[in-house]
Every structure is written in structure tokens, then in C-alpha cells.
Amino acid sequence: MTIMKAVRQDLSEAQRIGELHAASQASGPAGAAHPVIQVLSANKIFPNGTQALDAVDLNVRQGEFLSLIGPSGCGKSTLLKMIANLIEPTDGRILWWNGGPGRIGSEGSRLAFVFQDPTLMPWARVDANVRLALDLERKATSMSDTDVAARIHAALDQVGLTKFARSYPRELSGGMRMRVSIARALIDQPDLLLMDEPFGALDEFTRNKLDLDLVRLSWERRLTTLFVTHSIYEAVFLSTRIIVMAANPGRIHSQLVIDEPQPRDEDFRGSPRFAQLCRDLSRMLTEASNAGSPQV
């Protein structure tokens, strides 16, 4: 039984990747691939009266790397948390794989969230921290120990931390802890990866290195990623599409499609095209900040 199931899962996995290839070939990264998430005129007013978001419409498409960037207070984190179903919109709605929040976690529609902090359990070793994702999904109980161990190993391997499986989080550097957090997100084979300024607290060198790893990972795994960032360079380097948001109230200002070949590498970071795109994005951000405060 279990073998049959596993085979079927593998098949659907293969089909999905196949579809993805077809979609990205047919329409390019900005084309009309399957919408994974549809945000339909969602707005959010917090109980204290702050309007965090005003009628936001957004589609996240299968296979794209979409970044949200904007001045602080533009609601980009709020939007991300809404999509993660951590907060509810005051008005409007969100569709996950054309369904309600009940679709999250069902077959072929898994969410993984990487927070700004690694949010690891300090009392548990790295492998146990990664395993938590399986434990909470109640998958570990239906899998054999060797399968679980293999999954943990594979997840740690993707972030280059297999040697540190038995370490405690406090023994790792900030960048390594963040990698563990990413491994915990990847072990569940998510269909959508949500990241909330994951590398914001790291130094630039570590951040660049992790960005490079993320580019490789999302290409290899054909991940659909929604990424919140403050950094223009990071957004341009990683994304296939960037949404620029404006504040007071939070809303979508404009978007920038980065139609560059994948997977990107250090050469792209040094290219004149990269510099040009950063300048464009910077200009858009300035416009968005100016538009954001009409009362001043």
C-alpha cells in the first residue's frame, strides 16, 4: 500500500514539474501560468485603526519568484502573513489554489514560511528542528524512521549543513541558523515558499551567499516563492517579478519584471544589466515613497 502511494506521489511530483516546465516555456516567468495565490481586493484595518492595506489585488503564479518591496509601513509583511493565513483580511478575500484556507496543506498545496529570525527551538538539535515540520504535519508517524532520516538528510544537504545535524542552534552562526530554518521549510516539499525578510539581520557577505543558494534551490526545486525584502539588490538578483508597494495606506504601486535567464549567478550581479535594473527599481521605490505620503 505504502509503496503504491509513494509511487503515485512521485508521479504527481513529476507531472507537476513537467507542467511547470511547459508553463515557463510557454509564457515565460511573467506569463499567465497557474495562479497559486489570488489576493482579491484584500484590505486590512487593525483594531487600533491603522489601515495596513487598501484593496490589494495580487496573483502569485506557479513557478515565479515574486518579491514584495516598499518603504516601511507599506504592509508587505501584513500581505505575506495574510497569504500565510496568519492574519485575516478585514475585507476582500484570498484564494489558495482556487480554494479557501482549507486547501492549505492538502495534497499539492503546501505552504512553508521562513521568518525574519530563524525561529529554531534552542533546546533541540538541528535535525530535530528540521524534523519539526514533519512532526507537526503528523507525517513523521506514518513514515518509517529511515524515511524520516533520509528526508532530514536531504533537506540539510540542500542547505549544506549535513555535518551539523547533531549541533545545537546556539553553536551555529547566524547564517547557518537561517539555513536550518530554510531546511525546515524545504523538508515539507512546499508548493509555495513564503519568506519574510529572511536575510535582513545578516551581514552583506552572508546575505549574498544565501541569496545565491536560494537562486540555485528555487531553480532546482522549481519553487514558487513570495519574498519580502528591503534590499533593492536582493530583489533584483532573486526575482522574476517585483511588486513595489507604497505606504499610507499600504497598496501596490507598480511592478517590475526581471526577464533574465535562470539560474542566476555572480556574473549577473556584476553585469551592467543588473545595475540598470537596480536603478529602475530604485526610481520606482522613490516614486512609491513620494506617493505614499500625500498629507505631508
Minimum CB separation from other proteins for residue 105, in Å? 7
Which class for 143: exposed (0-12), middle (13-18), buried (19 or more C-beta within 10 A)?
A: middle
Specify the residue, 181 or 248, whose C-beta has the smaller distance to other proteins.
181
Minimum CB separation from other proteins for residue 273, in Å? 37
Specify the residue, 30 or 124, whose C-beta has the smaller distance to other proteins.
124
User: How far, in Å, CA of 177 to CA of 130, rounded?
Assistant: 11
Minimum CB separation from other proteins for residue 122, in Å? 5
Task: Render the burial of 50-79: b for 16+ CB within 10 Å, e for the rest.
Answer: eebbbebebbbbbbbbbbbbbbebbbbbbb
Minimum CB separation from other proteins for residue 175, in Å? 17
Specify the residue, 54 or 188, whose C-beta has the smaller distance to other proteins.
188
Specify the residue, 31 or 101, whose C-beta has the smaller distance to other proteins.
101
Which class for 26: exposed (0-12), middle (13-18), buried (19 or more C-beta within 10 A)?
A: exposed
Minimum CB separation from other proteins for residue 91, in Å? 22
Minimum CB separation from other proteins for residue 123, in Å? 5
Q: How far apart are the first and last CA of the chain?
A: 66
Q: DSSP label at 16?
A: H
Specify the residue, 33 or 192, whose C-beta has the smaller distance to other proteins.
192
Q: DSSP label at 267?
A: H
Specify the residue, 29 or 190, whose C-beta has the smaller distance to other proteins.
190
For residue 37, give the H/E element and its range.
strand 35-45
Specify the residue, 113 or 268, whose C-beta has the smaller distance to other proteins.
113
Residues that bind other proteins (CB under 8 A): 84-86, 105, 111, 113, 115-117, 119, 121-124, 132-133, 135-137, 168-170
User: How far, in Å, CA of 245 to CA of 240, rounded?
Assistant: 16
Q: Is the dihedral of CA 40, 46, 50, 52 positive or negative?
A: negative
The phi-psi region of residue 249 (left if phi > 0; otherwise alpha if psi is between -120 and 50; otherwise beta) is beta
Minimum CB separation from other proteins for residue 234, in Å? 21
